[in-house]
């Protein structure tokens, strides 16, 4: 993660310098205007920040697209093979894909107790989902977990009573 940020920053600085030098050379050749070194540094800093922001934006969009693409594949698989559970609101949600894929079992809100087994949590379904994740280009075994849902005060009191 830190290596990625450092390489993006270095690339942004180099890109900013290239833009600033092109600006300086362009102005001196085209308009015969001399630009001082401090202006070149200022232009380079502004360009570096813009380039860094653009790089981070593109990486964020790519990350979101990969996450959504994997979610669509998993939902398509669940909808095709386990339509009853999928219709009821059960599913497997892609929570994170970097540095390792994290998948969460989701439940329909308020239907059953938190400690009840998840209908899509069997070893067979888990193995099939792992194969889908690996086929989408994410190596290794993903981490599976249960997604928490907000609890109202009344639900918490009911759980404490039991």
Task: Determine contact, residues 126/82, Cβ cutoff 8 Å.
Answer: no
Report the alpha-carbon distance of residue 116 to residue 159 in Å, rounded: 13
Tell me the pLDDT of the chain (162 aa) as tens digits: 566 778 777 888 888 888 877 877 777 776 666 667 777 788 788 888 888 888 889 888 999 999 999 999 999 999 999 999 999 889 999 999 988 899 999 888 765 566 678 889 899 999 999 999 999 999 999 999 888 767 778 877 887 887
Helix (H) or strand (E) holding 96: strand 91-96
Report the alpha-carbon distance of residue 34 to residue 47 in Å, rounded: 19
Task: Determine contact, residues 78/121, Cβ cutoff 8 Å.
Answer: no
pTM score, whole prediction: 0.71
Largest CA distance in the chain: 84
């Amino acid at each position: 993660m830190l290596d990625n940020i450092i390489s993006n920053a270095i690339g942004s600085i180099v890109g900013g310098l290239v833009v600033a030098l092109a600006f300086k050379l362009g102005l001196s050749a085209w308009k015969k205007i001399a630009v001082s070194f401090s202006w070149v540094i200022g232009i380079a800093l502004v360009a570096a920040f813009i380039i860094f922001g653009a790089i981070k934006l593109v990486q964020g969009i790519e990350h979101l697209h990969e996450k959504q693409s994997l979610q669509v594949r998993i939902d398509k698989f669940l909808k095709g093979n386990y339509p009853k559970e999928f219709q009821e609101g059960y599913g497997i949600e892609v929570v994170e894909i970097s540095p390792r894929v994290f998948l969460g079992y989701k439940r329909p809100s308020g239907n059953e107790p938190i400690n009840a087994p998840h209908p899509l949590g069997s070893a067979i379904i888990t193995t099939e989902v792992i194969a889908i994740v690996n086929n989408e280009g994410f190596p290794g075994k993903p981490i599976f977990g249960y997604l928490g849902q907000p609890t109202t005060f009344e639900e918490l009191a009911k759980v404490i009573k039991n």
